[in-house]
Amino acid sequence: MIAAVLLAFQVAAAPAMQGSDAAPVRLPSSSAHRTVVVDAGHGGPDNGMTGPIGARWKIYEKNITLQVAKKLATALRQRGLRVVMTRTTDTLIALSDRGRIANDHHADLFVSIHVNAANPAWKDPGAARGFETYFLAEAKTEDAKRVEQMENASVRFETDVSASKGDPLNFIMNDMAQNEHLRESSELADFIQQHLGAIEPGPSRGVKQAGFRVLVTAYMPAVLVEIGFGTNPADARFITNPARQKEIAGSIADATVEYLDHYQRRLGVSTP
Ligand SMILES: [Zn+2]
């Protein structure tokens, strides 16, 4: 309920705020020289999800996220953007540190790459497939809560529990710095879903919202992309194929550039 009110406030207040003296924290001057943090989900002892269901072969989410993240970094650099990766090897980075890395580099955007997994209790879990993009807010649906819990579970691999203390949602609701970016984050998520829709074989599951710990500490527009279901054999084949990974990376990079250009144009129009 609180989240819904905040969201409504953000959508209503954002255009007015841009035209007033209360300027947003970070005003892009052009889409070039922007810094994007590319975050490969999981790593090290945290394998993330494993799949696919009923297959003789096995995939680990942490490997796919790293492969796609590296290709995304290349694609973004080819488009003139600066890129910082939270990890480039098979290592564990605390969820709270991933956002901190982005803040330290004064990044403009934060993009986290993940692979989805079906709930084993579903009627036909192996059949679930498709791609979805999340931005940070209170989870609205049971399905969004499932993905939120799954991705936040990575915190159990972290030895420094003090860093992850407290309810992340309370933190979000008290943190206007992140709330300022709700609208931008949901727009970036929209562009990513549109571009992925052109190349993904599975259905678009849409733009969703959830309280991901990895996004909480990033003080900038931030999204988490579930590029497919590793539990589904067809999706698993798609997201592990290097050529298809390159297409996924290219689509997310195109969406990022389009978002930055769109954001830039809107600022240009609304600034007196
Ligand atoms: Zn994940």
98 in a structural domain: yes
Q: What's the average model confidence in pLDDT over 196-218?
A: 91
CATH number of residue 190's parent domain: 3.40.630.40
17 in a structural domain: no
Q: What's the average model confidence in pLDDT over 193-205?
A: 97
Between the CA of 40 and the centroid of ligand 1 the distance, in Å, is 9
55 in a structural domain: yes
Give the Cα separation of 242 and 68 in Å (integer).
8
Between the CA of 151 and the centroid of ligand 1 the distance, in Å, is 5
Among 238, 270, 221, smallest CA distance to 10 is for 221
Between the CA of 148 and the centroid of ligand 1 the distance, in Å, is 9
183 in a structural domain: yes
Whole-number pLDDT of residue 228: 98
CA 42 to chain centre: 13
How much of the chain, in percent, has pLDDT values that exceed 70?
79
- Residue reference for tokens 């052009």: 30
**How many residues does this entry show for the chain?**
272
Q: How many domains does the chain have?
A: 1
Other Cβ atoms within 10 Å of 21 Cβ, number: 5
Q: What's the average model confidence in pLDDT over 16-23?
A: 41
Amino acid at 260: L
Give burial (CB, 10 Å; 0-12/13-18/19+) of 14: middle
- Residue 41 is part of which domain span? 33-270
Between the CA of 116 and the centroid of ligand 1 the distance, in Å, is 7
Among 73, 91, 90, smallest CA distance to 82 is for 73
For the whole model, what pTM was predicted? 0.82
Could you list the beta-strand ranges (E) of 86-170.
109-116, 131-136
221 in a structural domain: yes
Among 40, 49, 51, 50, smallest CA distance to 89 is for 40
pLDDT tens-digit map of 106-138: 999 999 999 999 999 999 999 999 999 999 877
Please name the helix (run of DSSP H) or strand (run of DSSP E) that holds residue 95, with its range, or none. Answer: helix 95-104
74 in a structural domain: yes
Between the CA of 79 and the centroid of ligand 1 the distance, in Å, is 26
244 in a structural domain: yes
Q: What's the average model confidence in pLDDT over 213-226?
A: 88
Do the beta carbons of residue 220 and residue 181 sit within 8 Å? yes
pLDDT tens-digit map of 27-58: 444 566 899 999 999 999 999 999 999 999 99
CA 162 to chain centre: 24
11 in a structural domain: no
Give the Cα separation of 31 and 29 in Å (integer).
7
Whole-number pLDDT of residue 61: 98
Give the Cα separation of 125 and 83 in Å (integer).
36
